[in-house]
């Protein structure tokens, strides 16, 4: 247990440092958005570009891992959307709740935690999980939200709008730009490699502090959101990793390290993507903020328990 805490606590310690800096006023009201922009537009794209440029097709193309992590994520997302629709929620709000239950924080927490637990071998599966979450899942949610809000929009207009949104996302664009290097086996020149390592190295600590700043913002949460956030958080922290484990270990029978990586990434708390989508479209964001905060806090316990249980098997 102590060895696991030695891995987990520094990760969440950086989140707490960001939270404390925001709550104490040491960092001002614009710090959250500005540091988040640095991570999203510079540091994390540099890390993703570096990982893809130096990867091999065989490492990225692992159908079992793709279907395990992607399948578990899709089941939780679709099930949540359908359940919320049956409860009378509009499609746009139900889709955002689906993200709350399935959108793992692979970008901000996944990279530092997976590398701390599994070493640099975890970079490739974390990249794949991030692309599935940021590209595929987020794009699907955008389509559903836009469909719910703009029923008169033609399908090809809707798809073109989603494509433009994704291609403007640096977390999508950076890996795409690195694909030719991976395909040809070419590596960037040494100065470029050094630049990418320096900038990408800032991604993990800055991302964790940015998440803490986000969680430290004072918001008015409408009454009654706690029960919904509890249900969404339970789906995120318990149901999603359970489904991913069933697919990875029982259906596709991945090796222990890949199974461990898939479940660990699925067990991560909800990322900030759903909140940004809700804010952008003017939807009620109190439930999303509560889900992000609640799952981040509770995941300290759930991740510690999971790593304590699986640790001896993962070595």
CA 8 to chain centre: 17
Which residues lie closer than 8 Å to 39 by C-beta, 6 or more apart?
A: 108, 203, 206, 207, 210
Contact in structure between 35 and 213 (CB atoms under 8 Å): yes
**Is residue 63 a contact partner of residue 260, using CB atoms and an 8 Å limit?**
no
**Element spanning 81, H or E:** helix 63-86
> Which among 149, 183, 166, 153 is positioned nearest to 281, based on CA atoms?
149
Segment 186-197, tens digit of pLDDT: 888 999 999 999
pLDDT at position 302 over 80: yes
Distance CA 108, CA 106 (A): 6
DSSP single-letter state for residue 41 = I
- Chain center to CA of 165: 18
Q: How far is CA 85 from the centre of its chain?
A: 24
Q: Give the pLDDT confidence of 196-216 residue by residue, as tens digits.
A: 999 998 988 898 898 888 888
Token readout for 30 is 């614009």
Find tokens 């905060």 and name the residue. Answer: 293
Domains and CATH numbers, the chain: 2-314 (1.20.1530.20)
List the single range of 117-121, 247-251, 255-259 with lowest mean pLDDT. 117-121
As a whole number of angstroms, the distance between CA 159 and CA 212 comes to 34
Q: With 70 as the cut, is the pLDDT of residue 153 above it?
A: no
Confidence of residue 221 (pLDDT cuts 50, 70, 90): low
**Percent of the chain predicted with pLDDT > 70:** 92
Q: Using CA of residue 295, residue 297, residue 298, residue 303, what is the dihedral sign?
A: positive
54, 200 contact by CB (below 8 A): no
Taking a C-beta distance cutoff of 8 angstroms, is the pair 23, 152 a contact? no
Cβ burial of 200 (10 Å; 0-12, 13-18, 19+) is: buried
pLDDT of residue 1: 63
What gap in Å lies between CA 122 and CA 134, rounded to an integer? 18
The span from the CA of 139 to the CA of 185, in Å, is 30
Query: How far is it, in rounded angstroms, from Cα 287 to Cα 222?
Result: 8
**CB-based contact 228:97 (threshold 8 Å):** yes
The residues that bridge with 270 in the sheet, in sequence order, are 104
For helices 44-53 and 123-131, the axis angle rounded to 10 degrees is 120
> Are residues 178 and 48 in contact, defined by beta-carbon separation less than 8 angstroms?
yes
pLDDT at 14 over 70: yes
Check the CA dihedral 304-308-309-310 and report its sign: positive
pLDDT higher than threshold 60 for residue 314: no
Specify the 3-state DSSP secondary structure of 270: strand
Q: pLDDT grade, residue 222 (50/70/90)?
A: low
> pLDDT tens across 102-127, in order?
999 998 899 889 988 998 888 889 98
3-state secondary structure of 104: strand
- Cα separation of 233 and 290, whole Å? 9
CA distance 109 to 7: 12
Mean pLDDT, to the nearest integer, of 3-15? Answer: 82
Q: Give 48's pLDDT tier (boundaries 50, 70, 90).
A: confident
């Amino acid at each position: 247990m102590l060895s696991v805490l030695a891995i987990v606590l520094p990760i969440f310690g950086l989140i707490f440092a960001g939270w404390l800096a925001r709550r104490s006023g040491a960092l001002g009201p614009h710090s959250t958005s500005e540091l988040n922009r640095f991570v999203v537009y510079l540091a994390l794209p540099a890390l993703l570009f570096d990982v893809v440029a130096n990867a091999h097709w065989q490492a990225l193309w692992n159908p079992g891992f793709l279907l395990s992590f992607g399948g578990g994520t899709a089941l939780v997302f679709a099930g949540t959307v359908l359940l919320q629709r049956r409860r009378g929620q509009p499609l746009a709000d139900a889709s955002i709740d689906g993200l709350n239950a399935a959108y793992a924080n692979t970008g901000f927490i996944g990279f530092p935690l997976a590398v701390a637990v599994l070493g640099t071998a975890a970079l490739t599966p974390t990249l794949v999980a991030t692309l599935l979450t940021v590209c595929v899942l987020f794009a699907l949610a955008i389509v559903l939200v836009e469909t719910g809000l703009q029923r008169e929009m033609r399908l090809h207009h809707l798809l073109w709008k989603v494509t433009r949104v994704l291609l403007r996302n640096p977390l999508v664009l950076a890996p795409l730009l690195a694909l030719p290097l991976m395909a040809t086996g070419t590596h960037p020149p040494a100065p470029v490699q050094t630049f990418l390592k320096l900038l990408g190295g800032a991604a993990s600590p800055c991302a964790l502090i940015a998440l803490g700043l986000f969680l430290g913002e004072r918001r008015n949460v409408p009454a009654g959101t706690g029960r919904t956030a509890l249900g969404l958080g339970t789906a995120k922290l318990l149901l999603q990793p359970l489904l991913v484990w069933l697919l990875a270990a029982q259906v596709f029978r991945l090796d222990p390290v890949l199974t461990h990586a898939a479940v660990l990434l699925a067990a991560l708390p909800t990322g900030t993507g759903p909140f940004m989508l809700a804010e952008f479209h003017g939807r009620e964001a109190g439930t999303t903020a509560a889900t992000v905060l609640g799952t981040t806090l509770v995941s300290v316990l759930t991740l510690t328990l999971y790593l304590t249980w699986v640790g001896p098997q993962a070595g």
